[in-house]
Structure 1
C-alpha cells in the first residue's frame, strides 16, 4: 500500500467496476464483486490489491501471487496462478495507471494557515518568512528552514537540518543533519508515461523519497519519489547543484556526484562511488561500490566495483584513453602520410 501519510485512499472499488474503468475484460465474471483497495507491483501484491504483468520475463514474480486481480495481455493470462483473476487488456501498464489514479491521490496542502495546526515542530525549529508546512509534517529540533520553502503533508525531517530557500519537499522522509540547498525539489513525481485510451497518460508515482543522515543536496537538484518502491540516498552522500535523480534509484553511503549528473530510473549505485560532472546513467544499471565515472561519461551497462570508467558509451578508462589517442593520431596525419 502507498504510505498513507502521503497518499489518500480512494477505495474500495469492486474488481468489476475497476475492469470497466480501465477498459479491461474480467476473465472470471464471478470475481467481479471482489473488493479492491489499492494497486501494487507484483512483489508486493496482496489479496486486496490489483497488479499487472506487462512482460513474460517477469513471470517469476507470479509465484504465490495472491492479488485480487492482475492486468495482463490475453497471451499471458494462462501464466496467472489459480485464484488470481485475469483482467485482460492490450496494455496492462496503462490499465494499471488508470486503476492507480482511481484508488490513490497524493495529499495536498489544504487552504488555511501557512503552518498547519496538525504539524509537529520540536523546540528550536527556525522558520523564515513564507514557509508553508502541511498537516502531519514533523520537523526535528534545531532544523532551520529558509524563506518560501514548502513542506508537504506527512513529511518527516530530522534534527539539525538546513533547508534553504525555495525548496519543495513532498512524500519524503529525511534524516538528521541533512542539507538541502536553494531551489531543490525532493519527492516530486518521477517521469513515467504510457498509452491510455486517448493518448499518453502519466503513471501515478506512489513511492517515497528517503534521504538518510548527513546527506547534502545541491541547489536546484531533484530527487524524485519512487514509482512504487522508494528512492533512497544513503548516509553522508554529497550531491552537487543541478543533479537529477529519478524514481526508484538507490544511492549508497558516502557517494559524491558533481553538477549536471543525470541518473535514470531504478539505477543502483554502491557505497563510495564517485561521479564526475555531467555523467549520465541509463535506467536499471548497477554501479558497483567504489566505482569512479569520469566527467560526461555515458553509462549504458553495469560498472564493476572499484573500476574507473569514462567516455561514451562508458568503458574502462584505459581502454577509452587508448582509443581516443589512436583516433587523434589518425586524424592528425598529413594527407595520409605514413600510410
Structure 2
C-alpha cells in the first residue's frame, strides 16, 4: 500500500469495475464483486491488492502470489494460484497504470492552502525564509534551515540540522538529520515511466517515496525521482554533485560520491563507497558493487563487480579499456603513415 502520508486511498473498487475501466476480461465472472484497495508489485501484493504480470520470466513467481487479482496476457491466466483472480488483457502494464490512477491519488498543495499549514509540525529553532511553503502533515526538525521560495510538500519529513537552500521542491520524501540540499534541486518528483495504451502513451503512476539518510548532500539543480513501486533511497553520508539525475527505485549505498552530470537510470543498485566521475551514465536495473569506481564519461551497460575501476563506452575494466584505446591509436597511426 502506498504511504498514506503522500497518497490518498480511493478504494475499494470491484473487479467488475476495474475490468470495465481497463478493458480487461475477468476470467471468472463469479469473482466480479471481489474488491481490491490497492495496486502492488508482484512480490509484495496482498489479498486486497491487484498486481500485473508482463514478463514471462516471472511466471514461476506468480504461481505463489498472495494478490487478490492480477492483470495477465491471454495464456497466462492458468499460472495464477486459485486465490488470485485473473483479468486478461493484451496490455497488463497499461491496465495496471489505469488501476493505479483509480485507486491512489498523490497528495498535493492546493491553490487555497496557506503558505505554512497549521497541520505541519515544526520544531524549535527552525528558520523559514521568505516565500517558503510547507504542506499539511509535513515535519521539520530542530535547527533546520529552509531557504527562500522552497516548497515542502504534504507529509514530507525533514530531520534536524538540515540545510535546505533556495528554490527547492521536496515531495514524497523522508529526510534524515544533517541533510544538505543546494539550490534548485528537485526531490521526489515523478520518475520517468510510460506504457502504450490504445490511444498512445500514458504515464505510470509513481507510488513510491524518496529516502535520504543522515548526512546526504544533494547538489544544485540535481533531481532525485521518487520510486515507481518501491522507494528511491540514498545511504548515509553520500555526496552528490550538481546536475545529477537519480532515477526511480534506485538504491544507493553509504559514502558514495557522484560528480556533476552523472545519470543513474531506474532500479540501479549501487553499493557502499562507490565513486562515479563526471558525466558517467548507468543503464537501468544494473548493480555496481561496493567500492567500485566509474571513470568520467563512462557508459555502464552491465554489472560492475565490487572494488573494480571501469571506464570507457561501453564501460569495462579500466586496464582493458586503456589497452584497447592504445591499440586503436597505434593502428590509426599506422594507417595514416601508409597514406
CA–CA separation in structure 2 for the residues paired with 1:325 and 1:56: 43
Report how far residue 334 of structure 1 moved.
5.8
Question: How far does the alpha carbon of each residue in 1:28-49 deviate from its partner, in whole angstroms, 9 at most, with x for none?
Answer: 0010101111100011111111
Do residues 114 (structure 1) and 115 (structure 2) align? yes
Residue in structure 1 matched with residue 241 of structure 2 by the alignment = 240
Distance 1:9 1:331, change over 3 A: same
CA–CA separation in structure 2 for the residues paired with 1:47 and 1:80: 13
CA–CA separation in structure 2 for the residues paired with 1:165 and 1:156: 18
CA–CA separation in structure 2 for the residues paired with 1:335 and 1:42: 58
Residue in structure 1 matched with residue 203 of structure 2 by the alignment = 202
Residue in structure 2 matched with residue 86 of structure 1 by the alignment = 86
Residue in structure 2 matched with residue 149 of structure 1 by the alignment = 150
- Within a 5 Å distance, the mapping from 1:107-256 to structure 2 comes to 107-110=107-110, 111-256=112-257
Gaps of 5+ in 1: none
CA–CA separation in structure 2 for the residues paired with 1:2 and 1:112: 23
SS at match of 1:201: strand
CA–CA separation in structure 2 for the residues paired with 1:258 and 1:308: 16
Report how far residue 112 of structure 1 moved.
2.6
Residue in structure 2 matched with residue 45 of structure 1 by the alignment = 45
Check the 8 A contact 2:277/2:296 in 1, yes or no.
yes
TM-score normalised by the chain length of structure 1: 0.98
SS at match of 1:51: strand
TM-score normalised by the chain length of structure 2: 0.98
Report how far residue 330 of structure 1 moved.
1.3
Residue in structure 2 matched with residue 58 of structure 1 by the alignment = 58
Do residues 101 (structure 1) and 101 (structure 2) align? yes
Residue in structure 2 matched with residue 309 of structure 1 by the alignment = 310
CA–CA separation in structure 1 for the residues paired with 2:92 and 2:218: 36
Check the 8 A contact 2:63/2:79 in 1, yes or no.
no
SS at match of 1:114: coil
CA–CA separation in structure 1 for the residues paired with 2:317 and 2:179: 34
Question: How far does the alpha carbon of each residue in 1:232-259 deviate from its partner, in whole angstroms, 9 at most, with x for none?
Answer: 0000000000000000000000000000
- List structure 1 runs of 4+ shifted beyond 2 angstroms: 333-338
Distance 1:246 1:335, change over 3 A: closer
CA–CA separation in structure 1 for the residues paired with 2:67 and 2:323: 54
SS at match of 1:309: strand
Check the 8 A contact 2:242/2:259 in 1, yes or no.
yes
CA–CA separation in structure 1 for the residues paired with 2:52 and 2:158: 34
Distance 1:334 1:100, change over 3 A: closer
